[in-house]
Every structure is written in C-alpha cells, then in structure tokens.
Amino acid sequence: MNQFSAFVCGWVFAIGLGVSGMTKPSKVIGFLDVTGHWDPSLMFVMGGAVLLGLISFPLVLRRKMPILGEKFILPEKAGLDAKLLGGAALFGLGWGMSGYCPGPALVSIVTGNLAVIVFVMAMIAGLGIGQWLLTRK
C-alpha cells in the first residue's frame, strides 16, 4: 500500500510541477533573472505549496503515526553547518545555469529531449559523488 501511495504522490507532484510552469526551464530562468525582465509569477508555486503546508503539516504531525507506516521519518538536524550552506550554494549555481531543479528535470525525462536526459544523468552522477563524499572515511 505504501508503494501505491508513493506512486500516487509522485504522480500528483508531477502534475503540480507541470501546471505551475516549473517544467519550462526558460520560465524558471525568467524568474531567477531579477535584474532583467523579471517574471515573478513562479513565486506563487513555492508560495502556494508552503501556504498549504504551513497549515496541513502541523495537522498531520498531530497524529502519532502516518496512515501507512509506524512513524514519521523527519530530518532531525538543527543548526547550520558548512555542508548545508555549501551544498545549497552548489545547487543554486547548477539551477541558475540550467533552469532545472531535480523534480522538473525528472518529470521532463518523458519528453525524450536529449538536453534533459544529459542533465538528469549528470545529476544522478552528482548525487552519487555527493553520497560518496558524505560517507567516505
């Protein structure tokens, strides 16, 4: 059941990304281009999602456990560190160079467009390198 639920959530998530305009890299670049012909409309994507989440997340987390699991699995780290800041900066650099963040890129794979495929393959390699850096001792 939790696999079916994950599938449905992924499906709904992708529809949201497509409806919002996040799967158009040129529109994303237009949003990031604050000194040019700035298109602020994509602010409403994170705005809408967070507006809902700010209300719904605390309601959900009042429960002792999720419907299909034994416990909520949430990040436990608090406070800032170099990994968080450095990682976010590298991500921002890649996002600004391409107009793709992970979700929209993965969804756009279905177009078969070579540019997206190259981006996603490189992203998966980057995730692997990051994993290796974090776990090597």
Residues within window 89-128 making contact with another protein, judged by CB under 8 A = 89-103, 105-111, 113-116, 118-128
**Count of residues engaged in binding another protein, rule: CB under 8 A:** 116
Whether the CA torsion 42, 44, 48, 53 is positive or negative: it is positive
Q: Quote the least distance from Cβ 137 to another protein, whole Å.
A: 14
HSE-up of residue 85 (Cα within 13 Å, Cβ side): 4
Closest C-alpha to 22, from 92, 101, 89 = 101
Residue among 63 and 137 whose Cβ is closer to another protein:
63
Check if the beta carbon of residue 31 is closer than 8 Å to that of residue 41.
yes
Residue 108, classified by CB atoms within 10 Å of its CB into exposed (0-12), middle (13-18) or buried (19+), is: buried
Reading the block at residue 117, the tokens are 């495929």
Residue 40 is given by DSSP the state G
Q: Tell me the per-residue interface mask from 18 to 57 with another protein, x by CB under 8 A, - otherwise.
A: xxxxxxxxxx-x--xxxxx--x-xxxxxxxxxxxxxx-xx
Q: Quote the least distance from Cβ 72 to another protein, whole Å.
A: 4
Is 133 a binder of another protein (CB under 8 A)? yes
Q: Quote the least distance from Cβ 127 to another protein, whole Å.
A: 4
Residue among 5 and 137 whose Cβ is closer to another protein:
5
Q: Quote the least distance from Cβ 70 to another protein, whole Å.
A: 8
